[in-house]
Structure 1
């Protein structure tokens, strides 16, 4: 995959893995404009050693629901448990998708719901399972909605336990009204300096922060362990009867 530009190769991230979840409404092999922007971000990471993978969510039978495996709750099929394994194998998660009516796609919302369904799972330090991982988002569309969609996704990711670096979103939108999409000839999307700058900054900040967390062995396990709280260890809220 060709890189949009070369930089100082002092920084290597060979021990990192990144997962891009493309939440387009288009099944493979139909062209996804969101994939075009993903390719820019992915090329930056791969050039500096990150192992990347792209999953087009709509190609998988992800069941609706609020449990980690909906096959245990009446659904005949559910692809989410296998996708969740990919999520947990990645240091970096990038949620990517189009804008529809100024909002995230229905596929994106289902993915976020299923991420949330697993948010009560704990890691080996008894923290929420997504701790120690970083997240960002890429958005494409027409007219408006990039910041609105990014705001929703970045809030959701941090609420689930992901750590969000500075400027963790990038996107491209066309002119108001029907018009060319990101990959269409003459759209100007792949050449847009603002989009390319934000895509580059996001990729680098994700790699830097993921490396910092890996070196620190994640978020310190103190004051944020669900098992300790459930056991009654609440040092920030002393029991008046013990004074």
Structure 2
């Protein structure tokens, strides 16, 4: 278990609100199956430690350990797949107030596993909440990236866009990353990498975590994201949002 730094512990002790009714899900899109160590998970553990110190219920999923059938339907077993573990993971997604996607960098891009996870998230985008909004409304999302080559901002940009397109609220500075030297070399959790001691990365990880907590707190206290102007059933019925419902069509 990752220990908090003195500075992070102080921030937790001085938290401006209670967060112990929140739930967070970290989906690790490493290419390494368990029990191989994941450098991306090692960085995410710093964020997880802060959340747990504030009473947040945190779950982690290593996507590659599950059979996520290719496709963009909620359950691919209904579309010729022999097996699909995604429906169970989606239950964890919708139970979480905070979703953080983790990815390594390969050839300047997010991992293929991360692409698969985003595709499957998109496959559930037709699900609506009780207010007629996307089921992802009222939740907040962030991204953590590690690698030994350039591309962290590109990966974060792509994943954060995807999350907001689905309906997640993206707070400021909602990503954190660590990059080693270009080319072969130590990865984040390797001895002598300097990753766990990198002040820039640690600062960004802390800022991301607290901004996710603040945003999730506001959204939960507000009862979700405001519904005016974004309810699909009203749009499909031909309603103007400033007028009574038209005659049923």
Give TM class, smaller chain: over 0.9
The secondary structure found in structure 2 opposite 1:53 is strand
Q: Equivalents in 2 of 1:157, 1:210: separation in Å?
A: 15
- Taking only aligned residues, the RMSD between alpha carbons, in angstroms, comes to 1.2
Is 2:108 the counterpart of 1:107?
no
Which residue in 2 is equivalent to 1:95? 101
The secondary structure found in structure 2 opposite 1:166 is coil
Which residue in 1 is equivalent to 2:245? none
Which residue in 2 is equivalent to 1:218? 224
Structure 1: gaps of 5 or more residues = 237-243
Equivalent position to 2:122, from 116, 123, 129: 116
The TM-score with structure 1 as length reference comes to 0.95
Which residue in 2 is equivalent to 1:3? 4
* 1:81-230 matched pairs, under 5 angstroms: 81-230=87-236
Offset at 1:221? 1.3
Structure 2: gaps of 5 or more residues = 243-249
Offset at 1:7? 1.9
The secondary structure found in structure 2 opposite 1:63 is coil
Which residue in 2 is equivalent to 1:64? 70
1:48-94 Cα distance to aligned partner (Å, 9 max, x none): 11110111000000100010000111111000000000000000000
How many residue pairs end up in the alignment? 237
Is the CA contact 2:105–2:149 (under 8 Å) kept in the aligned structure 1?
Answer: no
The secondary structure found in structure 1 opposite 2:88 is helix
